[in-house]
Amino acid sequence: MTDRRDFLKTSAAAAALLTLGAATTSRAGDRPAFSGIVYTSDNPGQWAKKVGSHAPQVTVDKDKVTIVTRHPMSAAHYIVRHTLVLADGTVIGGTTFSPADSPESTYTLPAGYSGRLYATSFCNKHDFWLTETSV
C-alpha cells in the first residue's frame, strides 16, 4: 500500500504543478488546458454530475486553510488525497485518506502569504479535481 500511496502523492503534486504552469486555454483557445485530466467546477468534463461531491471546497480563516470534499467514503469509492499548493508551486502539504477517513484536511499558510491557492482532491474513480482561490 505504501508504494501506491507514494505514487498517488507524487502524481497529485505533479498534476498540480503542471496545472499551475499551464496556460489557461489550449492552443485552439476553445477549451481549458488539461481538459479531461484535471477537473474543476467550471470544467467538470465527463463528470458534470459529480461536481458537488468531488470538487474540493476551500475555507480560509487567517492562516488556516481547510479543504473538504463532500464525498461518501467506502472501500470501493473514496477520496484518496488532498494537496494544497501556492501560486509559485510550493506544496504546503498533503493528506492521504483511507476509506474509513473523512476527506477533510487543514494546512497553515506561510506568515503573511497573499495570492492564489490551489486545492486538489483525488478520487479513486472520478479522477483529479482542482479548486483555485485567493487570499
- pLDDT tens-place string over residues 124-133: 999 999 999 9
Q: Please identify every stretch of the chain with a pLDDT value under 50, giving residue numbers as ranges.
A: 17-19, 21-29, 31
pLDDT for 4 equals 60
- pLDDT tens-place string over residues 23-51: 344 444 454 566 678 999 999 988 989 98
pLDDT for 36 equals 74
CATH number of 2-134: 2.60.40.730
Cα 72 from Cα 74, distance rounded (Å): 7
| Amino acid letter for position 106 | T
- HEC string of 58-72 equals EEEECCEEEEECCCC
Apex 109 CA angle, 105 and 129, nearest 5: 45
SS3 content of the chain, % helix, strand, coil (to 5): 20, 40, 40
Provide the residue count of the chain.
135
Show me where the domains of the chain are located: 2-134
